């Protein structure tokens, strides 16, 4: 989830508005060594010299400079099948892009074939079954807007540009997860084109559904359609925000302990995030129901020592969601999972060094964000029917570094590596697959835990040539 420091975000937005496309893009000559790709009404193949290439290559993270040899813009399942068969014929690696928000750019590749689903993005809601069918290119902002008149939602993240595909395939948490579960828990059915080009349906192969609930980000097939159970949307969306400025280590530690200790009594309709931006802390809380005594007690405790308390905001459901929709323009960043925690104890040993490294970095926009999990995510039934393995944890950390100049990329990566080293030394081992870090050792275990071996079995069945792959896709 993107952080909630709105002044920082609008400053970045303003800045990004005046930046041109990065200069590393080069236009290559037409490819003559491979058979001509078969563009037709179902799929449009683009090469680097084509005018539309850069538009379809674009992803949210400007740090990633990978350039696929071909982009197959697919309009339907047949287009995806054609693209995969062409990749098999030409022995090209395939990557899959839906919303393009992967932190490490795993939806791109260098010199291979990119399947771009951005134009295959229709939504359809059935009032009878209360289900939503989303084509793979649909983005979250549109999903919320489309379902709101039906007074329904799927529990997803808040940033409008994130793809429903990548979010669901890696788990998916947000404001409603404690009440309704992860995004992948509402997934009812998928259709997928496998590495051989076959169109499969989870109705005939339940293992597919299990894997697509948190275990299939670009690993063994291209999911083309997602069917979700929907849930009642609340009438109102309340937000509360507290800021604490100019903190030293002792103060930041005390505020962290306080927040962690309060969160077990957070109602399951509510969500909170703890966001430390160097020496300034922002705590956000949202709730969808009338305030309870438990919530009031938390708010009262958080108000102690706050430098700035925002008056409670009561928005309509959709207005509340839109408030947190985030920027749409690509930016430079290095964000990673900072691990799952049970309580402050999980990071207590690492916290002083992390705090010091944050202050010492010349990169001013570096943040540790911790989000509440728990509630419906912990449901044992959901655990059995999904590949997502980290249900028992109460908190998820994310470390974010934003910067303005491409030349600061190595600095950002170095800072993240320092932070990860400290977290690992403190015993943090479980990480969120949707917040990947390309430098994470043992990522198989960290992202998928005990599900990994079962995912590998499926990889053997569906993609025995490892056609669909990226640096942290499930391996044969
Ligand atoms: C600004 C921002 C805000 C975010 N907020 C949240 C949040 O609130 N909650 C949360 O849980 N996560 C959040 N994330 C993380 C997000 O869930 C992941 O980045 C997610 O993978 C993005 O999906 P996508 O379709 O946009 O990305 P893409 O880059 O298109 O794809 C991401 C991954 O999924 C694979 N993939 C994409 N489409 C398909 C498909 N159709 N079939 C098979 N594989 C596919 C790709 O190969 C890639 O590995 C956020 C990320 C960003 C950048």
Instruction: State which ligand 1 atom lies nearest to the alpha carbon of 139.
Output: 26
Model pLDDT for residues 450-468, shown as the tens digit of each residue: 999 999 999 999 999 999 9
Pinpoint the residues of the chain covered by CATH 3.30.465.10: 123-233
Q: Using an 8 Å Cβ cutoff, are 390 and 432 in contact? A: yes
Which of 121, 467, 155, 108 lies closest to 317, judged by CA? 155
How many helices (H) and strands (E) would you count in the chain?
16, 18
Query: Domain 236-449 belongs to what topology?
Result: Vanillyl-alcohol Oxidase; Chain A, domain 3 (3.40.462)
Average the pLDDT over each of 102-106, 107-111, 324-328 and give the range with the smallest value. Answer: 324-328
Instruction: State which ligand 1 atom lies nearest to the alpha carbon of 170.
Output: 21
In sequence order, what are the beta bridge partners of 241?
284, 310
> In 145-185, where do the E strands start and end?
152-153
Phi then psi dihedrals of residue 55, to 5 deg: -60, -40
Confidence of residue 12 (pLDDT cuts 50, 70, 90): very low
User: Which one has a higher pLDDT value, 232 or 5?
Assistant: 232
pLDDT at 21: 33
Model pLDDT for residues 44-99, shown as the tens digit of each residue: 999 999 999 999 999 999 999 999 999 999 999 999 999 999 999 999 999 999 99
> What spacing in Å lies between the alpha carbon of 102 and ligand 1's midpoint?
5
Phi then psi dihedrals of residue 382, to 5 deg: -65, -35
C-alpha to C-alpha distance for 366 and 359, rounded to whole angstroms: 9
Q: Is the CB of 157 under 6 A from ligand 1?
A: yes
Whose CA is closest to atom 31 on ligand 1? 166
pLDDT at 39: 87
Q: Is the CB of 222 under 6 A from ligand 1?
A: yes
Whose CA is closest to atom 21 on ligand 1? 166
C-alpha to C-alpha distance for 279 and 266, rounded to whole angstroms: 25
In the numeric block, which tokens belong to residue 212? 């697509």
> In 342-394, where do the E strands start and end?
365-372
Task: Name the 3-class secondary structure at 467.
Answer: coil
Q: What is the dihedral of CA 410, 412, 413, 417, to 10 degrees?
A: 130
Q: Is the CB of 371 under 6 A from ligand 1?
A: no
pLDDT at 291: 81
C-alpha to C-alpha distance for 470 and 378, rounded to whole angstroms: 30
C-alpha to C-alpha distance for 121 and 142, rounded to whole angstroms: 10
Average the pLDDT over each of 2-6, 227-231, 346-350, 418-422 and give the range with the smallest value. Answer: 2-6
CATH code reported for the domain at 123-233: 3.30.465.10
Please say if the pLDDT value at position 314 is more than 90: yes
Q: Is the CB of 97 under 6 A from ligand 1?
A: yes
Instruction: State which ligand 1 atom lies nearest to the alpha carbon of 157.
Output: 8
Q: Does domain 6-116 have CATH number 3.30.43.10?
A: yes
pLDDT at 32: 59
pLDDT at 3: 47
pTM of the model: 0.94
pLDDT at 289: 86
Model pLDDT for residues 131-167, shown as the tens digit of each residue: 999 999 999 999 999 999 999 999 999 999 999 999 9
Confidence of residue 103 (pLDDT cuts 50, 70, 90): very high
pLDDT at 1: 58
> What spacing in Å lies between the alpha carbon of 1 and ligand 1's midpoint?
11
**What does pLDDT average to over the chain?**
93
Pinpoint the residues of the chain covered by CATH 3.40.462.20: 236-449
Instruction: State which ligand 1 atom lies nearest to the alpha carbon of 166.
Output: 23
In the numeric block, which tokens belong to residue 475? 């391996």
Q: Is the CB of 117 under 6 A from ligand 1?
A: yes
C-alpha to C-alpha distance for 343 and 475, rounded to whole angstroms: 33
Confidence of residue 31 (pLDDT cuts 50, 70, 90): low
Note the Cα 398 to chain centre separation in Å. 11
Which of 180, 205, 288, 219 lies closest to 452, judged by CA? 219
Sole residue written with tokens 């850069």: 54
Pinpoint the residues of the chain covered by CATH 3.30.43.10: 6-116
């Amino acid at each position: 989830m993107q952080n909630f420091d709105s002044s920082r975000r609008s400053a970045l937005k303003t800045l990004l508005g005046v930046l041109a496309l990065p200069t590393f893009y080069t236009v290559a000559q037409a490819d003559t060594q491979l058979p001509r790709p078969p563009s037709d009404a179902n799929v449009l193949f683009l090469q680097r010299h084509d005018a539309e290439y850069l538009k379809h290559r674009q992803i949210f993270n400007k740090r990633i400079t990978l350039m696929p040899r071909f982009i197959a813009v697919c309009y339907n399942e047949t287009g995806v099948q054609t693209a995969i068969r062409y990749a098999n014929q030409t022995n090209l690696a395939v990557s899959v892009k839906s919303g393009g928000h992967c932190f490490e750019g795993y939806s791109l590749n260098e010199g291979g074939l990119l399947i771009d689903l951005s134009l295959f993005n229709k939504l359809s809601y059935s009032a009878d079954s209360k289900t939503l069918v989303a084509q793979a290119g649909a983005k979250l902002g549109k999903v919320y807007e489309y379902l709101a008149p039906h007074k329904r939602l799927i529990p997803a993240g808040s940033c409008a540009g994130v793809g429903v595909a990548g979010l669901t395939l890696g788990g998916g948490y947000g404001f409603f997860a404690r009440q309704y579960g992860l995004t992948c828990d509402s997934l009812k059915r998928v259709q997928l084109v496998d590495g051989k080009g076959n169109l499969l349906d989870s109705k005939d192969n339940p293992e597919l559904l299990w894997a697509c609930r948190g275990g299939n980000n670009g690993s063994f097939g291209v999911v083309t359609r997602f069917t979700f159970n929907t849930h009642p949307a609340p009438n109102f969306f309340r937000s509360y925000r507290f800021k604490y400025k100019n903190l030293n280590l002792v103060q930041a530690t005390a505020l962290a302990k306080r927040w962690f200790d309060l969160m077990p009594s957070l109602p399951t309709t509510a969500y909170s995030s703890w966001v430390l931006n160097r020496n300034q802390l922002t705590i956000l809380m949202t709730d969808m129901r009338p305030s309870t005594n438990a919530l009031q007690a938390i708010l009262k405790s958080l108000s102690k020592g706050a430098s700035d308390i925002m008056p409670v905001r009561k928005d309509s459901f959709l207005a509340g969601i839109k408030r947190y929709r985030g920027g749409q323009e690509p930016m430079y960043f290095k964000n990673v999972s900072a691990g799952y925690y049970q309580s402050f104890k999980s990071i207590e040993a690492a916290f002083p060094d992390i705090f010091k490294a944050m202050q010492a970095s010349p990169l001013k926009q570096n943040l540790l964000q911790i989000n509440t999990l728990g509630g419906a995510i912990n449901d044992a039934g959901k655990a059995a029917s999904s590949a997502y393995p980290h249900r028992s944890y109460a908190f998820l950390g994310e470390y974010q570094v934003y910067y303005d100049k491409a030349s600061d990329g190595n600095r950002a990566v170095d800072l993240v590596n320092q932070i990860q080293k400290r977290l690992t030394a403190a015993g943090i081992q479980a990480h969120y697959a949707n917040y990947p870090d390309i430098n994470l050792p043992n990522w198989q275990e960290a992202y998928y835990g005990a599900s990994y071996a079962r995912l590998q079995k499926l990889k053997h069945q569906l993609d025995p040539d490892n056609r669909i792959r990226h640096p942290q896709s499930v391996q044969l």
